[in-house]
């Protein structure tokens, strides 16, 4: 794959406009970092100085000899457009805009940002930013960011500068680092998708971590992530729930159930992306993915030397939908022969104090668990790892613990199954041995369980493309919309609008009884006594209409046939057009309690019949659709047709 951002990471010449000796200015920080770069010439530009950072400086881009590949702009916003004009005059290949004060400040800043973007676009000059923290590539030795980033194989793409600095601290603590860093800023030109594609093309990048506030084009984001997944480069996503993905629309059940975080989570299922919620989870995920053990994990074995640790681990793993199956009689027998009578060998395997008698009992127990197809991975939890620490619980056991650690590493490699360590110790020779071998080690049991969630390989859902032209919804009026449903092939009962008693009288004979009346002034009508059910006569219907008008202070009411629901299952099927990810289908348990149950599933439309059925199967209410305890089965064929 060709890297469309190659000139940002392989420039021969770089000019830093706004370079400064003033430590409080970005031009000082970026300029100082730039001078660390290798394989390229660095030119410092400062209109007022002859020397900056101990180097010769130039007063303008026009004074720099030869060709310029990359221009870094760190000047006040008032001088920014002039530097853009100068860069265009010099026929540069790309621009890195550190300067802030554009779209993030409002309409005036957006106008300036767009004007500069169009100028560059007309000359095919790419721009990262503005309002960004810079870029860095540890393999190509290009350093144009405000901070150092520990070398490694994770590419970090972030819309937050301070979070990027926190990521570096967390990564360094667990012994991993970065291949490159890209601060997107306002994404005026280079977008999140461009950055992902660049990192996929980068040979030094094995994993991509994202912090995203605005996806811009959600469908293109998914396609870029799918390409990264297919290339063997997993993506980790930390996304906000407030500004980028969607605007909450709680005016209907559909809007309330389709929250921003749920839409992003759905998109991740299509993209094969691991979605996380905190910077620490980003670091844990990157560490675990680096082991290369990602696979279909379901059945977990636990080895501990204390019942409490095993019980807590079991509870947390079950909450994360893992199984802790009881071990077969054959494995239990071999474990009983190896351990002592107080040990429990069911799963969790609790050594019950035998670990201190014989530390190799840890590795032998894990070996037994992974010797068959009964267990997909093992969690060791408790004190193991602490016997070779500086303050061991029991002395004289360091060498035995290190030997057990070596055997555990060998077992994991030969079985091709993951082992995760939760240890009360923060550091020891045994734990260092695990870390060096790529076996994840955690001091927090919650983090260790999260590691198993990461190890459970994400799957991708097919993203369909809608062919042809469909009729457009031209109104949000309830009665008109209901009557328009037939244009979409959706079954719908007849419905009439009544605004006074005489209209109700003229239309009552056109509809079958009993009828339902609903106020057209309220979203959640039943909250305001705006719904009247099962009106069987004209007189009952008139009385119900008058009560609804009095209660809601609105004369507009819909009248439609009453549907008997005694032996039915109410299912909500709704649509929402998300500003970033496009049309979203929501299906779930329906009725007035839909938002309380929150039993729903979501997909990016259009969907196939197979996907529709899978969505239904994900609902807690699905057994009711499928003939639970002798109930009549719902016509799933028709329901999935309606969803499609």
pLDDT one-digit tens code per residue, 31-48? 999 999 999 999 999 998
Q: What is the pLDDT of residue 64?
A: 96
Residue 55 has pLDDT above 80, yes or no: yes
What does each C-alpha distance from 132 to 6, 100, 145, 212, 426 come to in angstroms?
18, 7, 9, 13, 36
Residue 245 has pLDDT above 60, yes or no: no
Sheet of strand 496-498, all strands in order from the earlier edge strand to the far edge: 496-498, 557-561, 515-519, 531-535
Supply the pLDDT for residue 203: 95
Give pLDDT, residue 575: 87
Distance CA 414, CA 417 (A): 8
- Angle, CA 143 vertex, CA 137 and CA 144 arms, to 5°: 110
The pLDDT value given to residue 403 = 97
> Is pLDDT above 80 for 110?
yes
Give pTM, 2 decimals. Answer: 0.88
Higher pLDDT, 317 or 523: 317
DSSP string, 319-374: HTT-B-PPPPHHHHHHHHHHS-TT-EESSSEE-TTHHHH-THHHHHHHHHHTSSTT
Q: pLDDT tens digits for 381-422?
A: 999 999 999 888 888 899 999 999 999 999 999 998 999 999
pLDDT at 547 over 70: yes
Query: What does the alpha-carbon distance between residue 407 and residue 383 come to, in Å, rounded to a whole number?
Result: 17
What pLDDT was estimated at residue 244?
42
Residue closest to 210 by CA, chosen among 189, 225, 227, 188: 225
**Percentage of the residues of the chain whose pLDDT score is greater than 90:** 73
């Amino acid at each position: 794959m060709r890297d469309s951002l190659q000139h940002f990471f392989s420039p021969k010449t770089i000019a830093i406009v706004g370079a400064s000796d003033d430590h409080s200015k970005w031009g000082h920080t970026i300029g100082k970092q730039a001078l660390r770069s290798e394989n390229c010439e660095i030119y410092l530009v400062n209109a007022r100085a002859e020397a900056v950072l101990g180097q010769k400086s130039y007063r303008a881009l026009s004074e720099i000899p030869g060709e310029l590949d990359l221009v870094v702009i760190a000047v006040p916003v008032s001088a920014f457009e002039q530097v853009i004009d100068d860069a265009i005059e010099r026929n540069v290949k790309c621009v890195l805009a550190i300067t802030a004060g554009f779209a993030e400040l409002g309409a005036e800043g957006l106008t300036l940002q767009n004007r500069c973007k169009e100028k560059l676009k007309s000359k095919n000059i790419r721009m990262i930013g503005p309002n960004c923290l810079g870029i860095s590539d540890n393999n190509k030795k290009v350093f144009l960011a405000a901070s150092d980033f520990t070398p490694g194989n994770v590419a970090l793409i972030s819309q937050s500068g301070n979070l990027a600095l926190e990521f570096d601290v967390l990564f360094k603590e667990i012994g991993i680092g970065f291949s490159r860093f890209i601060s997107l800023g306002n994404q005026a030109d280079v977008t999140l998708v461009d950055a992902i594609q660049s990192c996929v093309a980068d040979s030094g990048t094995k994993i991509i971590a994202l912090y995203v506030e605005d996806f811009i084009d959600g469908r293109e984001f998914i396609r870029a992530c799918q390409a990264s997944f297919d290339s063997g480069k997993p993506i980790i996503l930390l996304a906000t729930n407030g500004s980028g993905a969607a605007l909450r629309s709680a005016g209907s059940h559909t809007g309330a159930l389709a929250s921003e975080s749920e839409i992003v989570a759905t998109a991740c299922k299509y993209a094969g992306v691991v979605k996380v919620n905190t910077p620490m989870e980003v670091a844990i995920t990157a560490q675990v993915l680096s082991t290369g053990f990602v696979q279909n994990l379901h059945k977990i074995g636990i080895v501990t030397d204390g019942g409490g640790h095993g019980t807590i681990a079991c509870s947390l793993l079950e909450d994360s939908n893992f199984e802790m199956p009881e071990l077969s009689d054959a494995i239990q027998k071999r474990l009983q022969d190896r351990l002592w009578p107080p040990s429990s060998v069911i799963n969790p395997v609790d050594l019950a104090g035998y670990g201190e008698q014989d530390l190799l009992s840890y590795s032998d127990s894990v070996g037994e668990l992974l010797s068959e197809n009964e267990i997909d991975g093992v969690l060791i939890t408790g004190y193991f790892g602490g016997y070779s620490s500086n303050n061991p619980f029991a002395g004289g056991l360091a060498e035995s613990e290190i030997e057990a650690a070596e055997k555990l590493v060998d077992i994991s490699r030969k079985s091709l199954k993951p082992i995760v360590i939760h240890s009360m110790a923060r550091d020891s020779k045994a734990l260092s041995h695990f870390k060096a071998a790529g076996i994840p080690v955690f001091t927090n049991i919650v983090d260790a369980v999260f590691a198993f969630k990461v190890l459970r390989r994400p799957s991708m859902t097919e993203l369909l493309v809608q062919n042809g032209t469909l009729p457009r919804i031209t109104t949000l009026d309830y009665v008109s919309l209901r009557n328009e449903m037939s244009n979409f092939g959706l079954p719908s009962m007849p419905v009439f609008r009544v605004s006074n008693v005489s209209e109700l009288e003229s239309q009552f004979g056109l509809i079958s009884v009993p009828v339902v009346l609903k106020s057209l002034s309220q979203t959640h009508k039943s909250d305001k006594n705006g719904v009247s059910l099962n009106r069987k006569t004209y007189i009952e219907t008139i009385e119900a209409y008058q009560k609804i008008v009095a209660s809601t202070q609105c004369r507009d009411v819909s009248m439609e046939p009453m549907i008997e629901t005694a032996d039915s299952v109410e299912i909500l099927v709704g649509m929402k057009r998300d500003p970033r990810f496009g049309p979203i289908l929501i299906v779930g348990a329906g009725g007035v309690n839909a938002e309380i149950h929150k039993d729903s599933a979501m997909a990016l439309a259009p969907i196939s019949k197979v996907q529709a059925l899978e969505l239904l199967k994900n609902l807690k209410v699905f057994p009711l659709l499928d003939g639970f305890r002798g109930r009549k089965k719902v016509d799933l064929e028709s329901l999935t047709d309606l969803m499609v």
